[in-house]
Chains A and B, each alone.
Chain A
């Protein structure tokens, strides 16, 4: 099959422009950009432990990114990954703290299912509201984020704290996604079973989107709701299903973060990974493997920024700024594309004129398609 690489070019272009802009920023505060970048990337890859941490950070981002990307492919904007992730994490935490006398394998499977279900429920609600009452999913998911925030606040504070009021008791080792031999192998890295879940999710989602009738329906609804209805696809059902799956993915992100990475859940905090997921999805051009690589890249920047600021005069915020700039360039890639196109056309035109001047062969004419100039299908 022929692959479409335009998405990759766009993303790579945005990354390069973002890095250049970051370099200019470093130079502007009087630091050496080359040194800055050297330490930034060294911080991510110089040791096996740090490489492990890059992927440990990426794990959560892969899943939230996948959640946003999946919803996006089906025409929905899931701003609620943060809330879905919190609820998924909460469910897993509750199971992990309450039933830790179960055998490990069973416990982990139950936690996995609880996180998946919790996130899915948090996704279904905005899906239902959208399908039934046409409530915009952006509004509904933002509200669900705050409901999740306070649910966690209430439940954890009243039932699952130990010592500190602001966070849950630590997840016992039996209920953690961390595995001792892996931690040891990677010299104490946070990398855990979550990465297996994340990669599996990438593969499963790619399979659903590309090979199944479900994916065919969901994408059709995302691209063109009217044509889907015309073809007999149940549009409302697709919206609900899509939000459910997106929510489930974000719920798994909560599992990997709260029981694998941080091993407790803090109250009064919406996880930033939920929102970073939007950036990851955008940079990954909403394709599953694109999400994997962009999440890994963000993981690299996150993991390396501390090392950079410790060894240079560049503050860690520069790394966040680079991420922000990359997102801007990704979001405005259409604008960049247009500039490139214009330049290319100008060049082609000049060439054509020169050729026309040199030889007598007429330029080939193609009929202009009226479809391009017609205003888009008006709502009647």
Chain B
């Protein structure tokens, strides 16, 4: 069997962390190899080594059977290795053509026409359907990803590395991406797919190499392995996929959003005439592709963004004009999307972070003086209750914690506020399967105890697993509100996420 890429016995150590420990990965020509592992397992590090972004401490890389040295991305390109990054590396104000030829322009004068022609040919050959003259900021995220793919093809890449390519796509776009990948294979390319989504691996990959804590656990044929087996390999123990959730009658309305209009950062309406209710004992999931008004919705409800018109009531109390603190006090707990930017003061200790919203009143402070003993006791209790693993307990600075433990800390703090409404935005983003399981359990627990929960997530699976009702949002508008029972399927929701209303089809 011919291998096109072989990474043999790779070792890479960062200060205090052994990211890759004697890792061997082999890619056959014309196959899709999935690289499966939890966050921090060392997948990205390994691929960054292959792409010349990091240097390995030990090991060998062979391309087409020949040992090579890859010192930088240019070396990788020259060897026919291309990478589609998770965060696109595109200039928003440039055209497709300009972005693609960037760095490989020949000569002093740009020949856009010639380049454009070649891009068009490539686009047709692989079924990418790209117009080379369009400006990047005018095209959808899915299209932008195709530009990234074209960039690699333009550079004659034979091996394409996809780093979590589906994170930003709608179900339909994911489907189309799978098609493109199949076309690429048909045309003789080879693909390494980095992902932690088992469903995608099952759908498209030929083989799967599982990495855990920097070590290869094994390589399996995807056809003869179940997703459960792969998940267990990835996590190192048995994983439960289903969220245990009993039917429950929703109670009184806690959050009532009525005709809400909010500007986005570009000063146009990011949320248009949005109306939604969340009641006690239910989880309402907001489904949508990133950047369709979810941020504006959450920030307007929590007071971080100005409301143009409309009302936001908590238990009948109109809070539209309230300050952030007054809103919090009216009964909002909020697990923010970006935990490091909004959720925590990274330099503060856990004890200090746990009182971020309550430091100003007893028992944490009296007459404006902080009561450190009580703060520490409080922290130790939450650390125990929410299983936050921190080296120095309540005295650990937040930045010393792993992402999952930071999220558990925020979850603990917000749940401990014991408010009527809990808003959770992307609560499991970037977390490993174990932490996801835990956080889902706690969210459902909140619902069961009679709290109203508003869940905003880009992961459709998460929305479908947890929600009692699903609100689908597109371009700042509520497309539809559906009851999440057995009649709902991912495909329908996906269409709505793309802005197609029920009945609009055909």
- Chain A interface (Cβ within 8 Å of chain B)? 2, 211-214, 216-217, 219-220, 223-224, 226-234, 341, 345, 349, 362-373, 375, 377, 380
Q: How far is the CA of A245 from the CA of B357 in the complex (A)?
A: 24
B395 part of interface (Cβ distance < 8 Å): yes
- Most chain-A CB neighbours within 10 Å: which of B38, B327, B342, B344? B342
For B370, what are the chain A residues with a Cβ–Cβ distance below 8 Å?
211-213, 216
Q: How far is the CA of A369 from the CA of B41 in the complex (A)?
A: 8
For B237, what are the chain A residues with a Cβ–Cβ distance below 8 Å?
none
Least Cβ–Cβ distance between B195 and chain A, in angstroms: 14
- The 25 sampled A-B contact pairs (Cβ below 8 Å) are A211-B369, A213-B365, A214-B368, A220-B348, A223-B345, A223-B346, A224-B341, A224-B344, A226-B338, A230-B356, A232-B326, A233-B325, A349-B57, A365-B21, A365-B215, A366-B17, A367-B17, A367-B42, A367-B214, A368-B17, A368-B42, A370-B40, A370-B403, A372-B14, A380-B265
Q: How far is the CA of A213 from the CA of B342 in the complex (A)?
A: 20
Q: How far is the CA of A219 from the CA of B352 in the complex (A)?
A: 11
For B45, what are the chain A residues with a Cβ–Cβ distance below 8 Å?
368, 373
Q: How far is the CA of A260 from the CA of B327 in the complex (A)?
A: 51
- Most chain-A CB neighbours within 10 Å: which of B18, B87, B327? B18
Would A212 and B345 be within 8 Å (CB), given that A369-B17, A370-B39 are in contact?
no
Nearest first, the 3 A-B pairs at minimum CB distance are A232-B325, A368-B19, A377-B341
Q: Determine the interface band of chain B, counting residues with CB < 8 A from chain A.
A: 35 or more
Residues of B328-381 at the interface with A, using a CB-CB cut-off of 8 Å, are: 328, 334, 336, 338, 340-348, 352, 356-357, 359-360, 365, 368-370, 372
Decide: A226 and B342 in contact? CB cutoff 8 A: yes
Decide: B295 and A380 in contact? CB cutoff 8 A: yes
Q: Which residue of A lies closest to B430 (CB)?
A: A370
Decide: B325 and A220 in contact? CB cutoff 8 A: no
Least Cβ–Cβ distance between A262 and chain B, in angstroms: 38
Decide: A230 and B324 in contact? CB cutoff 8 A: yes
B44 part of interface (Cβ distance < 8 Å): yes
B402 part of interface (Cβ distance < 8 Å): yes
Decide: B357 and A231 in contact? CB cutoff 8 A: yes
A229 contact from B57, B324, B359, Cβ within 8 A: B324
Q: How far is the CA of A212 from the CA of B368 in the complex (A)?
A: 6
Would A227 and B343 be within 8 Å (CB), given that A211-B370, A213-B359, A220-B348 are in contact?
yes
Q: How far is the CA of A369 from the CA of B340 in the complex (A)?
A: 14
Decide: B44 and A341 in contact? CB cutoff 8 A: no
For B57, what are the chain A residues with a Cβ–Cβ distance below 8 Å?
349
Least Cβ–Cβ distance between A241 and chain B, in angstroms: 13
Decide: A228 and B345 in contact? CB cutoff 8 A: yes
B323 part of interface (Cβ distance < 8 Å): yes
Would A375 and B87 be within 8 Å (CB), given that A231-B356, A367-B17 are in contact?
yes
For B316, what are the chain A residues with a Cβ–Cβ distance below 8 Å?
none
Q: Interface readout for B74-94 with A: 1 if CB under 8 Å, 0 if not?
A: 000000000000010000000
Decide: B342 and A368 in contact? CB cutoff 8 A: no
Q: Interface readout for B227-246 with A: 1 if CB under 8 Å, 0 if not?
A: 00000000000000000000
B13 part of interface (Cβ distance < 8 Å): yes
A227 contact from B18, B39, B345, Cβ within 8 A: B345
For B365, what are the chain A residues with a Cβ–Cβ distance below 8 Å?
213
Decide: A212 and B18 in contact? CB cutoff 8 A: no
For B326, what are the chain A residues with a Cβ–Cβ distance below 8 Å?
232
B16 part of interface (Cβ distance < 8 Å): yes
Decide: A232 and B357 in contact? CB cutoff 8 A: yes
12 further interface pairs, Cβ-Cβ under 8 Å (given A2-B395, A213-B359):
A211-B370, A226-B341, A226-B342, A232-B323, A232-B325, A232-B357, A362-B21, A365-B18, A367-B41, A368-B17, A368-B19, A373-B45
B338 contact from A232, A364, A372, A377, Cβ within 8 A: A377
Least Cβ–Cβ distance between B496 and chain A, in angstroms: 24
Would A363 and B18 be within 8 Å (CB), given that A224-B346, A232-B324 are in contact?
yes
B304 part of interface (Cβ distance < 8 Å): yes
Q: Interface readout for B263-287 with A: 1 if CB under 8 Å, 0 if not?
A: 0010000000000000000000000
Would A216 and B359 be within 8 Å (CB), given that A366-B18, A371-B403 are in contact?
yes
Would A213 and B369 be within 8 Å (CB), given that A365-B18, A365-B214, A367-B42 are in contact?
yes
Q: How far is the CA of A2 from the CA of B325 in the complex (A)?
A: 33
Would A366 and B213 be within 8 Å (CB), given that A227-B343, A227-B356 are in contact?
yes
Q: Which residue of A lies closest to B15 (CB)?
A: A345
Q: How far is the CA of A220 from the CA of B359 in the complex (A)?
A: 11
Least Cβ–Cβ distance between B428 and chain A, in angstroms: 14
Least Cβ–Cβ distance between A219 and chain B, in angstroms: 8
Would A230 and B343 be within 8 Å (CB), given that A368-B45, A371-B402 are in contact?
yes
Least Cβ–Cβ distance between B37 and chain A, in angstroms: 9
For A345, what are the chain B residues with a Cβ–Cβ distance below 8 Å?
15
Q: Which residue of B lies closest to A379 (CB)?
A: B265
For A231, what are the chain B residues with a Cβ–Cβ distance below 8 Å?
324, 328, 356-357
For A219, what are the chain B residues with a Cβ–Cβ distance below 8 Å?
348
Decide: A230 and B368 in contact? CB cutoff 8 A: no
B16 contact from A217, A224, A232, A366, Cβ within 8 A: A366
Least Cβ–Cβ distance between A371 and chain B, in angstroms: 5
Q: Which residue of B lies closest to A342 (CB)?
A: B15
Q: How far is the CA of A367 from the CA of B17 in the complex (A)?
A: 7
Least Cβ–Cβ distance between A78 and chain B, in angstroms: 20
Decide: A220 and B17 in contact? CB cutoff 8 A: no
For A363, what are the chain B residues with a Cβ–Cβ distance below 8 Å?
18, 21
A223 contact from B304, B328, B348, B395, Cβ within 8 A: B348
Q: How far is the CA of A369 from the CA of B17 in the complex (A)?
A: 8
Q: Which residue of A lies closest to B13 (CB)?
A: A349
Least Cβ–Cβ distance between A4 and chain B, in angstroms: 10
Decide: A377 and B343 in contact? CB cutoff 8 A: no
Q: Which residue of B lies closest to A364 (CB)?
A: B18
B214 contact from A234, A368, A380, Cβ within 8 A: A368
Would A367 and B341 be within 8 Å (CB), given that A211-B369, A223-B348, A224-B346 are in contact?
no
Least Cβ–Cβ distance between B478 and chain A, in angstroms: 21
For B41, what are the chain A residues with a Cβ–Cβ distance below 8 Å?
367-368
For A217, what are the chain B residues with a Cβ–Cβ distance below 8 Å?
359
For A220, what are the chain B residues with a Cβ–Cβ distance below 8 Å?
345, 348, 356
- Most chain-A CB neighbours within 10 Å: which of B38, B40, B327? B40
Q: How far is the CA of A58 from the CA of B402 in the complex (A)?
A: 44
Would A370 and B369 be within 8 Å (CB), given that A345-B15, A363-B21, A365-B213 are in contact?
no
Q: Interface readout for B12-42 with A: 1 if CB under 8 Å, 0 if not?
A: 0111111101000000000000000011111
Q: Which residue of A lies closest to B353 (CB)?
A: A227
Least Cβ–Cβ distance between B229 and chain A, in angstroms: 21
Least Cβ–Cβ distance between A304 and chain B, in angstroms: 37
Q: Which residue of B lies closest to A341 (CB)?
A: B15
Would A213 and B341 be within 8 Å (CB), given that A230-B334, A349-B57, A365-B214 are in contact?
no
For B304, what are the chain A residues with a Cβ–Cβ distance below 8 Å?
229-230
Q: Which residue of A lies closest to B40 (CB)?
A: A367
Q: Interface readout for B293-312 with A: 1 if CB under 8 Å, 0 if not?
A: 00100000011100000000
Q: How far is the CA of A233 from the CA of B336 in the complex (A)?
A: 16
For A216, what are the chain B residues with a Cβ–Cβ distance below 8 Å?
352, 359, 370
Q: How far is the CA of A362 from the CA of B326 in the complex (A)?
A: 55
Decide: B369 and A212 in contact? CB cutoff 8 A: yes
Least Cβ–Cβ distance between A59 and chain B, in angstroms: 29
For B325, what are the chain A residues with a Cβ–Cβ distance below 8 Å?
232-234
Q: How far is the CA of A362 from the CA of B18 in the complex (A)?
A: 12
Q: Interface readout for B27-71 with A: 1 if CB under 8 Å, 0 if not?
A: 000000000001111101100000000000100000000000000
Q: How far is the CA of A362 from the CA of B214 in the complex (A)?
A: 13
Decide: A223 and B347 in contact? CB cutoff 8 A: yes
For A226, what are the chain B residues with a Cβ–Cβ distance below 8 Å?
338, 341-342
Decide: B340 and A377 in contact? CB cutoff 8 A: yes
